[in-house]
Amino acid sequence: MHDAIPVTILSGSLGAGKTTLLNHLLTDAGDRDIAVLVNDMGDVNVDADLVSQNTDLAVDDGVTELSNGCICCELQDDLETAVVRLARDRDFDHLVVEASGISEPRPVARLFTTGSRAAARYEVSSVVAVVDARQFHDAFGDAGVATRRGDSDSDTRPLSDLLVEGVEFADLVVLNKTDLVTAAELDAVEEMVRTLRPDAEVVRTEHSRVDPDTVFQRRYDPATADEAGWKQTLADDDDSHDHADHDHAHPETVYGVTSFTYRRRRPFHPRRLYTVLDDLPTAVVRSKGTCWIATGADLSYTLAQAGPSVRVEAAGPWVASLPEFEQDAYRRNRSDLDWDEEWGDRRTELVVIGREMDDDALIAALDDCLLTDDEMAAAWDDFENPFPTDAGNELVVTEPTR
């Protein structure tokens, strides 16, 4: 298929750094035209919004989002429709499919290698797994070996099984967040990864900084007999008649992962919000989105939490704070912008993902952080505020220690 469009499948656990890697790839794309499909678990596709800020293609749907499900099962038809539409409507060099943190990469790759409409237009060039080195070591370091721990008699499997499956299927493993582990721990993680997938290339990095040429390198050529590890895995499945993908259970069911979206049109008190973020329940695996915080600076804030790591960045001004002519221009280009007659785009919109979470308790804790009526009328500059007030600056609320 000389005219086939190459596809990179990007997988990794919740908060491993997939979207950060994708944004690096877009920023340093050079003369490549890259189309992106982003899958997110919640009904708000936070990752797609973050990616769209870094590519001109986003204006014309170069960034496609599939939300409120995972592309390895109930969104398979939507995935196929989306990638076929992209191939028909756009001229680009490479497609990157970023799977959600609970999507398994195997069914996604199979879509592009079977007799589907997508397979007729695309070919997989590489499967990339982003691994949080700290998370991986915490899951398997004591044992010194990474293995599946799921019990066939249990209703759910541990999330560590998802870490193993991603690595087993990759031909490039990005060991990310290496600054959060010791040198000995990092060596142990790499040894476990190489045991799981000996023929994969392994790259160590911080903040998902990887040379785009490394990611986009074609690792599988259908014209040769030297097949990539993931391709051979699919072939082995077919040979053994193990069609698990066709009877694929939803990862939310398999791994016991649930999510909810928190939306409010009232700002947080900065000190009270900090206190909640500093002590999130361990059941919360991942949370991300936009926050309206009464810091006195009319800025939107981006929350990014993955396990014990919680960071909040001052992202930039709200559209509603811009001069009226700029607001009008922006709103004309973003017809989907959620706009309130009183507050404009100022809002909080967070996706919270976890296992065995007490949703009601967490929502109540966040609601307690909202300004009271009296506080709404007060001078917000007077509130105790630990958050940055200059766009681009970030506050590390909590971070795992090495």
Residues 50 and 119 placed together within one structural domain of the fold: yes
**DSSP code of 141?**
T
Residues 264 and 292 placed together within one structural domain of the fold: yes
Residues 102 and 207 placed together within one structural domain of the fold: yes
Distance CA 173, CA 193 (A): 8
Strands, E assignment, 40-185: 63-66, 94-98, 122-132, 172-176
Query: What pLDDT, in 10s, does the model give residues 165-203?
Result: 888 889 999 999 999 999 999 999 999 998 888 889 999
Asked which of 229, 253, 277 is the last residue of a domain, the reply is 253
Asked which of 188, 220, 253 is the last residue of a domain, the reply is 253
Distance CA 103, CA 368 (A): 33
User: Mapped to the 3 state alphabet, what secondary structure does 241-262 carry?
Assistant: CCCCCCCCCCHHHHCCEEEEEE
**CATH code assigned at 229:** 3.40.50.300
Residues 341 and 277 placed together within one structural domain of the fold: yes
The predicted pLDDT at position 210 comes to: 94
Range of the domain at 125: 5-253
Residues 125 and 247 placed together within one structural domain of the fold: yes
β-sheet bridge partners, residue 262: 350
Q: Is 110 helix (H, G, I), strand (E, B) or coil?
A: helix
Asked which of 226, 253, 280 is the last residue of a domain, the reply is 253
The predicted pLDDT at position 384 comes to: 97
Residues 60 and 100 placed together within one structural domain of the fold: yes
Residues 103 and 240 placed together within one structural domain of the fold: yes
The predicted pLDDT at position 306 comes to: 83
**CATH code assigned at 336:** 3.30.1220.10
The predicted pLDDT at position 75 comes to: 46
**Segments of the chain scoring below 70 in pLDDT:** 1-2, 40-77, 90, 142-159, 220-256, 402
- Total domain count for the chain? 2
Ramachandran area for residue 81 (φ above 0: left; ψ -120 to 50: alpha; else beta): alpha
